[in-house]
Amino acid sequence: MENRLDHLTTLTTEQRNHASMHIDTASTEEIVRLMAAEDRCVIEAVERVISQIVRAADVIAAALKKGGRLFYIGSGTSGRLGILDAAELLPTYGVGEDQVKAIIAGGPEAVFIPVERAEDDDEAGRAAIAALHLTEDDVVVGITASGRTPYVLGALRVTREAGATAIALTCNAPSEAEKLAHITIAPIVGPEIVTGSTRMKAGTAQKMVLNMLSTTAMIRLGKVYQNFMVDMIPTNQKLRVRAQHIVSETTGVSQEEARRYLIEAEWNIKAAIVMARARCSLSQALQYLSQGEGVVGRALQIAAAETETE
């Protein structure tokens, strides 16, 4: 552990940022402007690793399509970002914990109250992943700004041993995580304006990458039609209004008609769209969607082809 800590001070994310050497004496405006300027580096850093993000997103989409699962695992800010991304997938795309789940060092308590010592527990990381009974169709994304967090490294080791795909998301290169991962995504954002505070640029980069991975995978799985979230679960008034707008926009029917289709389809947005566009019953719409593997565009093509042959 001592050698690991000696190495920690050499990491990019632990270096001093020369632009902020005297930030403690800066004005409020100077501090905020410096933060804004430094955050521009994040976009550039993410753009430099697009090829790795594309590769990872394709692997995730393929795994989920085969019935595999996606797991995020991390500690501290990294763990919380994984939880944030996974939690949003249920209302947005109808994807729950049975498909995408996030794990944080220290357990649920660590989401709200820091359990900093938990990140040093390699065995706990191993146990957390071992308990998932991974298969070769599963994917684990280890999120660690430093690339050396023992909890995440333990998780990645077990992932490889299980034959699942290991992806590392870090802000340092080279890194220990890279040695264990099949795919490494490493946006190098440079030193933080407050030395070592990786909830800042590193955290922003990780959030951007996670957005890209999950959203791209959801699109590839047919959970978006045009640019609408058609697998969204309309669980409240706002989301029902949004669902009504989606059906109206994608089919050309009035808001009132869109609502009628949605009620008939029991608020299944995809089915309501197919019903409105193909002028068919709910059972026919569901059949078209099944034949089109849940992809609205394909379902409509099947419906159109069937109509032409009649």
**Active site members:** 88, 119
Pairing of strands 224-225, 183-185: unpaired
Share in percent of the chain as helix, strand, coil (round to 5): 60, 10, 30
Q: Give the integer Cα–Cα distance in Å for 165 and 30.
A: 44
Of 31, 34, 27, the residue nearest 190 (C-alpha) = 34
Q: Which tokens is 161 given?
A: 């041993």
Contacts of 85 (CB under 8 A, 6+ apart): 72, 102, 207, 210, 211, 214
Q: What is the dihedral of CA 203, 209, 210, 214, to 10 degrees?
A: 170
71: nearest Cα among 105, 108, 95, 101: 101
Q: Helix, strand or coil for residue 35? A: helix
Strand intervals (E) in 70-194: 70-74, 100-104, 139-143, 165-169, 183-185
Q: Which residues lie across from 169 on neighbouring strands?
A: 143, 185
> What does the DSSP 8-state code read for residue 12?
G
Residues with Cβ within 8 Å of 144's Cβ and at least 6 positions away in sequence, in order, are 74, 75, 78, 152, 153, 168, 169, 170, 175, 177
List the one residue out of 203, 173, 210 whose CA is nearest residue 35: 203
